[in-house]
Amino acid sequence: MNSTDFRNALGAFTTGVCLITVDDPKSGALALTANSFSSLSLTPPLVLWNIQNDSDCFREYTECLHFGISILCADQQALSGCYARKDNHKIVEDDFIVDEYGVPLLKRAVARFSCKLFKFLEAGDHHIVIGEVLTFDAEDHSPLLFSRGSYDQLASRTH
Ligand SMILES: Cc1cc2nc3c(=O)[nH]c(=O)nc-3n(C[C@H](O)[C@H](O)[C@H](O)COP(=O)(O)O)c2cc1C
């Protein structure tokens, strides 16, 4: 299998972009950009995302009790780029609130989920991280999209 062709085919699936956040006792509050978020189950309420096995933040995201997911708005491309940089996962506190579970969540987002770590599963060069949603909220913002390796936004909406 040609890995470039495989990546390109996978990239044809347009996604949203989110920040996965955690407050680690040793490393502090971290955020990591991810587009592998997916809904998983309504009862119980489960969501998932995938973390690369070689991420510098692997321990923090797989040993945590709780983590957060903030789905980015169309105008938050800079935040996505910021937390996708290696060695740049410490959060800029002004942009975040901390919820009742100690989870950092973006102040402004399309939707926010505060999760309890439910399970993580090894799967190839990633682990699947499953969270049980404890609280969530959603606002009527247009989402940031990621498609074929580039950012995009919905054509039909202006806000
Ligand atoms: C749009 C976008 C989506 C990404 N999605 C994921 C993801 O789902 N899982 C992941 O582990 N890394 C993902 N990354 C990569 C991380 O954001 C980040 O670049 C990587 O974690 C940096 O390496 P480090 O974790 O060792 O610091 C994504 C990056 C971008 C720009």
Q: Whose CA is nearest to atom 11 of ligand 1?
A: 51
Q: How much is the pLDDT for 101?
A: 97
Q: Is residue 71 within 8 Å of 108, Cβ to Cβ?
A: no
Residue nearest to atom 24 of ligand 1 (CA): 55
- Assess whether the C-beta atom of 50 lies below 6 angstroms from ligand 1: yes
Show the domains of the chain with their CATH numbers: 3-146 (2.30.110.10)
- For atom 15 of ligand 1, the residue with the nearest CA is 84
Q: Is 34 in the pocket of ligand 1 (CB under 6 A)?
A: yes
Question: Kind of pairing, strands 104-106 and 96-98?
Answer: antiparallel
Comparing CA positions, the residue from 59, 34, 56, 52 lying closest to residue 117 is 59
Residue 12 has pLDDT above 90, yes or no: yes
Strand bridging mode 126-138 / 111-123: antiparallel
pLDDT on residue 159: 52
Structure tokens belonging to residue 17: 């972009």
Predicted model pTM: 0.96
